[in-house]
Amino acid sequence: MKWLELLTVAGATLVAAVTLVVLYSLGVRLTAIAGDRQVAAPGWVRYLAYACFGLSGIAVLFGLYLIIPYFSG
């Protein structure tokens, strides 16, 4: 039985999904902070938000790279 493979798949799923969700959630959170009117948020918050969205985009692209055999060989 391939228990090790099963564990690997479970682990990889967890790591990938959590990475994506953490990055995107941070992006959403920071956008929300940057959009607040009452408290003037420092300008870098918005850029940090963009960085988070960008990183999660890269994570998705990496996933694509993995499923398309043309790239991964």
Q: Is 73 in the site for another protein (CB under 8 A)?
A: no
Minimum distance from CB of 57 to another protein (Å)? 8
Residue showing tokens 């938000």: 49
**What is the C-alpha separation between 15 and 66, in angstroms, rounded?**
15
Residue 58 within binding range of another protein, rule CB under 8 A: no
Q: Compute the distance between CA of residue 33 and CA of residue 1 in angstroms, rounded to an integer.
A: 49
* Residue 11 backbone dihedrals phi, psi, to 5 degrees: -60, -45
Residues found near another protein in the complex (CB under 8 A): 1-2, 5-6, 8-10, 12-14, 16-18, 20-22, 24-29, 31-32, 35, 56-57, 60, 63-64, 66-70
